Amino acid sequence: MPAVPRDYATPIDPAKLDRLAEVAIRVGLRLREGQDVLVTAPSVALPLVRRIAEHAYKAGASLVTPILSDEEITLARYRFGHEGGFDHAANWLYEGMAKAFSDDTARLAIVGDNPMLLSGEDPAKVARASKANSMAYQPALEKIVNFDTNWNIIAYPSPSWAKQVFPGVAEDVAVGKLADAIFAASRVDKEGAIAAWQKHNAALRERTLWLNGQRFKALHFTGPGTDLKVGLADGHEWEGGASRAKNGIICNANIPTEEVFTTPHCRQVSGHVVSSKPLSYQGTLIDKIAVRFEEGRIVEASAARGEEVLKKVLDTDEGARRLGEVALVPHSSPISKSGLLFYNTLFDENAACHIALGQCYSKCFIDGDKLTPEQIAAQGGNKSLIHIDWMIGTDKTDIDGIRADGSRVPVFRSGEWA
């Protein structure tokens, strides 16, 4: 039977959008009756926010509070804002968010802004504003990275984002194509999405159980331009798919997700590595990243494009040149197979093995919820204002697990699980 051509008169399928909202609440947050929900989203994603609220209240939410951003208002700051204002951030807002998360409020973030929105703005102002915002956000971020509460991130196909991913086509077609890609990657393109997520989580769980049983001391990545030994933190634990937050709720933090990940030892990384996909960071595309590590720290860094921004990121703080995460993703993942560059880490990190500069997840330690920040640091966990993932895996990537006695176990061969 020939395929039926896609009709872009309705770019975003309302049934699939509703399914995404339901999955966000029932799988992503696994919302508990009586919980509040804090939703952040671009204003263009209001149709999804409304469906989120509906499904949240059906699941027993006490209160859904949306906080919306707007691209034109963001641009107005850079074009008309006073010079001294770029070192300022809404501390009061993030302090309130941190208190909400401490009080068991669930966190739901919807991404969808134009990833290149700030590409034409003064990079010095962008860097200053970003650093101020990162510092102000720290109290709330710590609650998230430490999984104090259940949280989830999903995506909405905004026109400005869609035109970046699909340039040269009509806006409604671009939005429709991006919507289709988001729904497929998020496993809501067909009926039975809840069951599909249960099956996917079980598969990821099998991977984490195997890795945790191996108790590797390090991972050795090799491939074109890459010879990297990543020591793993003492008492590290692999996570993937659904994870238990400190409030007892098992949530899926990222939708979509194809990764299993853990905490590297921030003082035991050595060798060199190159990026396999561009990194979109605050309006700049950073491409062909190449870095060299000594004793856990990046001592040399370059990029064919966006090098100035990369070096500003690395100078954010002491922890910005060290790793906070290492993640394994097969080259055959659905997002990799799509062949798309989403310009959004939520998707692009699920196309390839990746590492993250900056803050580690305390969740990725055995009994991590009982460890103090000092204990996490002593075991090799990194601390930083940033957490930035970038892709290093290809179809030629080999990975060996190295045990404490020096013996090796194949983990990946030619980009796939061995």
19 and 151, same domain (yes or no): yes
205 falls within a domain? no
In a domain, 283, yes or no: yes
Name which of 152, 179, 70, 154 is nearest 114 in CA terms: 70
Residues 118 and 226 in one domain: no
Q: What does pTM read for this prediction?
A: 0.90
> Does any domain span residue 168?
yes
Statement to judge: residues 157 and 262 lie in one domain = no
Pair (230, 336) in one structural domain: yes
User: Based on the domain organization, do 272 and 343 belong to the same domain?
Assistant: yes
387 and 280 inside one domain? yes
Name the domain boundary from 164, 185, 206. Answer: 185
Note the pLDDT tens digit of each residue in 151-198. Answer: 999 999 999 999 999 999 999 999 999 999 999 999 999 999 999 999
Q: Is the pLDDT of residue 363 over 90?
A: no
Residues 277 and 391 in one domain: yes
Residues 83 and 153 in one domain: yes
Instruction: Indicate whether 393 and 316 sit together in one domain.
Output: yes
Mean pLDDT (whole number) for 50-73: 98
Instruction: Indicate which CATH number applies to the domain containing 106.
Output: 3.40.1830.10
Q: pLDDT tens across 364-387, in order?
A: 999 988 899 999 999 999 999 899
In a domain, 132, yes or no: yes
Q: Give a yes or no: residue 19 inside a domain.
A: yes
Residue 228 within a domain: yes
Q: Residue 377: what pLDDT? A: 97
Same domain, 145 and 221: no
Region 27-36: mean pLDDT is 98
Indicate whether 177 and 221 sit together in one domain: no
Q: Is there a domain that residue 364 lies in?
A: yes
> Is there a single domain that holds both residue 155 and residue 223?
no
Contact 261, 352 (CB under 8 A): no
* pLDDT per residue as tens digits for the range 106-120: 999 999 999 999 989
The number of folded domains in the chain is: 2
Does residue 128 sit in helix, strand or coil? helix
Domain with 359 in it? 215-239+257-417
pLDDT band at 2 (very low <50, low <70, confident <90, very high): low
190 part of a folded domain: no
The type of residue at 386 is I
pLDDT at site 291: 98
Q: Helices H, strands E: what count in the chain?
A: 12, 21
Spatial CB neighbours of 267, under 8 Å, sequence gap ≥ 6: 231, 295, 296, 322, 380
Q: Shortest CA distance to 57 belongs to which of 42, 41, 39, 35? A: 35
CB 400 within 8 A of CB 220: yes
Nearest-CA neighbor of 390 among 306, 315, 332, 316?
306
